[in-house]
Amino acid sequence: MINATSEYQDSLPVSSDMIMEQLKTWDISYRCFDHVALMTVEDSKKVQSLFLSSEQGGGHIKNLYLRDHKKQNILLVAEQDRKIDLKSLSTLLGTGRLSFGSADRLLENLGVRPGAVTPLAMINGVNQGVQLFIDSDLKKCLKLYVHPLVNDRTLEIELDGLGIFFKMVGVAPIWVDL
């Protein structure tokens, strides 16, 4: 069975190795950590001792691939413990009624599999019209921890570096107060 690990990265539109090479090409520094496959925030918390804590400025996130009834695709990046109410979120974001996108649509629109959703997937999502919303509280972080399109690696990247990435791929994130 194909899963979201680096073992199957060559089946993705952009592989994990390719995105890390692209970051280097754009002079975006990062630190890569290899670990067991992580599917949930609870799984992620088991390896967070590798990273800066939230108190030290580490931005630990969750990424939600959503779709509204008008078929608008959305990637929401939020602090990992943020409670998300889809009904009130749709009002806040100005979208229609929201639900989680399917695994097939996730692969089609963001080029990743469940468990590997990441803001770096906007390298694919920008061409599919995916809208990116980011929790404004993450602006306070020194470093963010994001998957490089697979779920058995995590990159430590500065917020400015992520901003350069967004600029290079042509994405204008919308910062929201959740």
Within 8 A by CB and 6+ apart from 10, the residues are none
Residue 37 lies in a domain: yes
Residue 135 lies in a domain: yes
User: Looking at the 3D structure of the chain, how many domains does it have?
Assistant: 1
Q: Domain range for residue 15? A: 6-176
Residue 143 lies in a domain: yes
| CATH at 146 | 3.90.960.10
pLDDT digits 0-9 by tens, 158-177: 999 999 999 999 999 999 99
Residue 90 lies in a domain: yes
Residue 139 lies in a domain: yes
> What is the three-state SS of 96-157?
CCEEECCHHHHHHHHCCCCCCCCHHHHHHHHHHCCEEEEEHHHHHCCEEEECCCCCCEEEEE
pLDDT digits 0-9 by tens, 42-90: 889 988 888 999 999 999 999 999 999 888 999 999 999 999 999 999 9
Residue 1 lies in a domain: no
Residue 149 lies in a domain: yes
Q: What is the pTM assigned to this prediction?
A: 0.94
Residue 50 lies in a domain: yes
